[in-house]
Structure 1
Amino acid sequence: MNILDKIIADKYKEVALKKAIIPVSQLERSVLFDRKGKSLSKALKQSSTGIIAEHKRRSPSKNTINQNTNVGQVAKDYQKAGVCGMSVLTDIKYFGGSIEDLLLARASAEIPLLRKEFIVDEYQIIEAKAYGADVILLIAAVLTRSEIKVLSELAKNLGLDVLLEVHNEEELNKSVMPSLDMLGVNNRNLKTFEVSLDVSKKLSGLIPDEFVKVSESGISNIQAIKTLREYDFQGFLIGENFMKTKNPGLSASKFIQELS
């Protein structure tokens, strides 16, 4: 069993436990549930930089990235830096995040927030809405086409943007549908954790023009973004490059200033 299989197996258990403790009806009564979300896809289309900055404490490939941040302060600093949106890791066991991180980021900033999570159940989408998310991530590697359809259509009905993540041509072919806003290409192999921008370059021409193209993972310098722009990418998800520093917001600010 590879790391992705382990994460998904644990995720089903986690969701089942949450369902037993906090029913959907309670989530739907959240003060944030009726909040009108902000579109990340529109922000990326209008942006000259396209940066989506991530909050990530650790990962399976790197045990510790940054355990000392205040997610609310990072959200404020990312917003001040001029990012298009913020990705918030909410997986506890493997990434050290929590759904409360999303809530704290929402209380601290107005920018679009992406719930970065391994979504396998409709419950997690309703939960994302209740905790202030504007965007949800769906990972093609762990979902069937019918599951992607059901989950993405629910998200759209709740007013959420949908970012669908793929790693190869097979995942892309099974995933394209009208209920998606953005197609993200993850340059990191989730099974081996190897990273290559060639994945984005290879898949870019296969993504239909109506979707905003987002490149994820392994983007650590200005030249990488300039190169990816030549392949029509408008969004660039950057996590580790900012988070490994003492001040992620300041790192994002300097990066965006150099990019501009």
Structure 2
Amino acid sequence: MNILDKIIADKQREIELKKKVVSINQLEATDLFNSRTKSLSKILANSNIGIIAEHKRRSPSKSVINFNHTVEDVTLGYQNAGVCGISVLTDGKYFGGSLDDLILTKATVNIPVLRKEFIIDEYQILEAKAYGADVILLIAAVLTQNEIQHLSQFAQSLGLEVLLEVHNREELEKAIMPSLNMIGVNNRNLKTFEVSLDYSKELSVHIPDEFVKVSESGISSVEAVKELQQFGYQGFLMGEHFMKTDNPGNEAKLFIQKLMSL
């Protein structure tokens, strides 16, 4: 069993336990559940920067990244730096995140917030809306074509945008459908954790133009962003590059300033 299989097995158990404690009715009764969401895809489509900065404390591949700052400090720093949106990892066991991180981010910033999670059930999408997400992530590697269609349509019915993550041509071909807003290419193989920007470059020509293209993971230089822009990418999801520093918000600010100067 690879790490991705382990995460999904744990996630299935976690969801079943949560359903016993917090009902769907309780999620739907929250103030945020009926609030209007912000469009990340529109912001990216009209931006020359396209940075989606991520709050991530640790990962299976890197262990501890940053436990020194509050989510409020990090995400406010990101917003002040001028990022287009913020990604918040909510998985606890493998990434050190929580739904509290999501709702605290929503209370801190006024730009679109993405719930970064291994979503396999409608319940998690209801959670995302109840805790303040504007966008959800769906990962093609762990979902069938029917599941992608069902979950993405359900998310959009709640006013949430959908970023669909793929890693290869096979995943992309099963995933292309109207109920997506953005298609992201993960430069990290979730089964081996090998990283290469070539994944984004090779898949770019196969992503239809009606979707905003997002490159995810392994981006650590302004030059990489500029190069990927030439392949049609308008969004760049970056977490570790900022989070591994003493001041993620300031690092993002310096990065964006350099990006704008080229």
Q: 2-side partners of 1:4 and 1:175: how far apart?
A: 19
Paired letter, 1:223: E
Residue 45 of structure 1 is matched in structure 2 by: 45
Residue 19 of structure 2 is matched in structure 1 by: 19
Residue 69 of structure 2 is matched in structure 1 by: 69
Alignment of 1:170-181 (within 5 A): 170-181=170-181
Paired letter, 1:197: L
How far off its partner does 1:48 sit?
1.2
Q: 1-side partners of 2:189 and 2:78: how far apart?
A: 27
Q: 2-side partners of 1:35 and 1:48: how far apart?
A: 28
Paired letter, 1:60: P
How far off its partner does 1:59 sit?
0.2
How far off its partner does 1:140 sit?
0.1
**Secondary structure of 2:162's partner?**
strand
Are residues 1:222 and 2:222 paired? yes
Q: 2-side partners of 1:70 and 1:46: how far apart?
A: 30
Q: 1-side partners of 2:237 and 2:82: how far apart?
A: 14
Q: 1-side partners of 2:257 and 2:105: how far apart?
A: 23
Q: 1-side partners of 2:78 and 2:46: how far apart?
A: 18
How far off its partner does 1:68 sit?
1.2
How far off its partner does 1:84 sit?
0.3
Question: What percent identity do the matched residue pairs reach?
Answer: 68
Q: 2-side partners of 1:226 and 1:134: how far apart?
A: 27
Where has structure 1 moved over 3 Å in runs of 4 or more? none
Residue 193 of structure 2 is matched in structure 1 by: 193
Residue 118 of structure 2 is matched in structure 1 by: 118
Deviation per residue, 1:67-97 (Å, 9 max, x gap): 1111011111111110000000000000000
**Secondary structure of 1:54's partner?**
strand
Superposed CA RMSD in Å reads: 0.4
Q: TM-score by structure 2 length?
A: 0.99
Q: 1-side partners of 2:81 and 2:34: how far apart?
A: 28
How far off its partner does 1:237 sit?
0.3
How far off its partner does 1:139 sit?
0.1
Unaligned runs of 5+ in 2: none
Deviation per residue, 1:135-178 (Å, 9 max, x gap): 00000000000000110001100000100000000000000000
Unaligned runs of 5+ in 1: none
Residue 151 of structure 2 is matched in structure 1 by: 151
Q: 2-side partners of 1:185 and 1:252: how far apart?
A: 21
Q: 1-side partners of 2:251 and 2:145: how far apart?
A: 38
**Secondary structure of 2:183's partner?**
strand
Deviation per residue, 1:107-128 (Å, 9 max, x gap): 1000100000000000000000
Deviation per residue, 1:7-30 (Å, 9 max, x gap): 000000000000010000000001
**Secondary structure of 1:33's partner?**
helix
**Secondary structure of 1:191's partner?**
coil
**Secondary structure of 1:163's partner?**
strand
